[in-house]
Structure 1
Amino acid sequence: MNIIEIFSSISGEGLRQGLPATFIRCAGCNLQCAWCDTPESQGAGTGMSIGEVVSAVSAGMPRYVIITGGEPLLQKEELTALLVALRDAGYCIEIETNGTLPFTDVQEFATVSMDIKCPSSGEESDVALLADLRPEDSVKFVVMDRTDCLYAQKVIESHDIAGTVFISPVWGGNYREIADFILEEGIEARFQLQLHKSIGVK
């Protein structure tokens, strides 16, 4: 697999926010979001075998693994082999994906955290993939402004989403404005700030 880095930290967002986790950051992405906070993931990364990745993960303490990127699903064959190895080793796994590639064939091994790209990102996700989310999965809308909020609202209200819905402001944005929008519009979503950035960790 092509890997940018493997490290342990506190999970900063999603269903398991606040839990210790080991992150596997995969190299390569098929999008270039305007507010991407991990531009290094666009690079080629370092080639690692599945065994090397599992060994690096096992060197840390957390039993919860988050596979992120970049876009992990670009390496589907290697990713599947890694998921089998991690599951067999007893790890709880989550995959973060940008909502552009099908993910049903990895749900046997992991929960899915899907992004829906909003207008300010300059990119677009495939909202049809929302139908494949299960109750144990989640979807996240990263929003910059009211335009993004209105887009998120439209998608949420026009799709039957089984998983947990998060609305997460772009770091440094107007958090109160976005929280007020959720309250005023009665949107069924969980407002969530990026904990890892608040406490100054990866």
Structure 2
Amino acid sequence: MIVSEIFRSLQGEGKNQGRPCTFVRLAGCNLRCAWCDTPYAWNEGEEMSVGEVLDRVWLLRGAYICITGGEPLLQREDLLELLKKFKLHGYSVEIETNGSLDFREMQPYASICMDVKCPSSGERSDLSLLSAITAHDSVKFVVADMDDLLYARAVMGRYRIGGEVFVSPVKGSDCRAIADYIVSENLPVRFQVQLHKVLGMR
């Protein structure tokens, strides 16, 4: 598999925000979001076997793993093998995905965080996949402006989402305006700034 990087940090977003985490960032992405903060992961990476990834993760210690990208589901076969190994060794795993590829075969082995693409990203997710989100999973809307918030609200009104929903402002956007709208409209979401960026961590 092609791995961009493996490192330890705090989980900066989602339902495990603040937890120490080992990140496995896979290389390659099928989208080009306007505000992507890891464009180096689109193409740059190191060829590693599943066993080599396991060894690197073991050396870093910690039982909670986040597999991110890029888009990890582009390496479906290797990813599934890796997930099975992680489960065998007792790791708790979360996958961050852009919601453009079917993740259902991964759900027995990992929690899914589906990052639904809003208009400001210039990309789109497959919203039909929202029906597969369970209480074990979560959904994230990264928003830059009111158009994004209205889009997120419309999606939540149209689709039943079985997991917790997060709204996270793009770095540099008006966080207070976004928070005020969530409060005034009583949206069924959790507002969340990206903790790792606040702290200056990866």
Query: Which bracket does the TM-score occupy, shorter chain normalised?
Result: over 0.9
Aligned partner letter, 2:12: G
Shift of 1:74: 0.3
Tell me, in whole angstroms, the C-alpha distance in 2 between the residues paired with 1:20 and 1:91: 13
Q: Given the two structures, how large is their TM-score scaled by the length of structure 2?
A: 0.99
Equivalent position of 1:63 in the other structure: 63
Shift of 1:128: 0.6
Aligned partner letter, 1:29: C
What are the superposed Cα offsets for residues 123-180 of structure 1, whole Å, 9 maximum, x if unpaired?
Answer: 0001110000000100000000000000000001111100000000001210000001
Aligned partner letter, 2:87: R
Equivalent position of 1:139 in the other structure: 139
Equivalent position of 1:8 in the other structure: 8
Shift of 1:185: 1.4
Equivalent position of 2:79 in the other structure: 79
Q: What stretches of structure 2 of length at least 5 have no aligned partner?
A: none
Equivalent position of 1:170 in the other structure: 170
Equivalent position of 1:27 in the other structure: 27
SS in 1 for 2:80: helix
SS in 2 for 1:90: coil
Q: Which runs of 4+ in 1 moved over 6 A?
A: none
Q: What stretches of structure 1 of length at least 5 have no aligned partner?
A: none
Tell me, in whole angstroms, the C-alpha distance in 2 between the residues paired with 1:172 and 1:59: 36
What are the superposed Cα offsets for residues 175-202 of structure 1, whole Å, 9 maximum, x if unpaired?
Answer: 0000011111121000000001111110
Percent identity of the aligned residues? 53
Equivalent position of 1:180 in the other structure: 180
Tell me, in whole angstroms, the C-alpha distance in 2 between the residues paired with 1:125 and 1:53: 28
Tell me, in whole angstroms, the C-alpha distance in 1 between the residues paired with 2:195 and 2:62: 18
Structural mapping, 1:33-182, within 5 Å: 33-182=33-182
Shift of 1:44: 4.0
Equivalent position of 2:193 in the other structure: 193
The alignment yields a C-alpha RMSD, in angstroms, of: 0.6
SS in 1 for 2:62: coil
Tell me, in whole angstroms, the C-alpha distance in 2 between the residues paired with 1:59 and 1:20: 15
Shift of 1:62: 1.6
Tell me, in whole angstroms, the C-alpha distance in 2 between the residues paired with 1:155 and 1:62: 36
Tell me, in whole angstroms, the C-alpha distance in 2 between the residues paired with 1:127 and 1:167: 16
Aligned partner letter, 2:144: M
Shift of 1:61: 2.2
Tell me, in whole angstroms, the C-alpha distance in 1 between the residues paired with 2:161 and 2:51: 36
Tell me, in whole angstroms, the C-alpha distance in 2 between the residues paired with 1:7 and 1:161: 31
SS in 2 for 1:32: coil
Tell me, in whole angstroms, the C-alpha distance in 2 between the residues paired with 1:98 and 1:160: 18
Say how many residue pairs are matched: 202
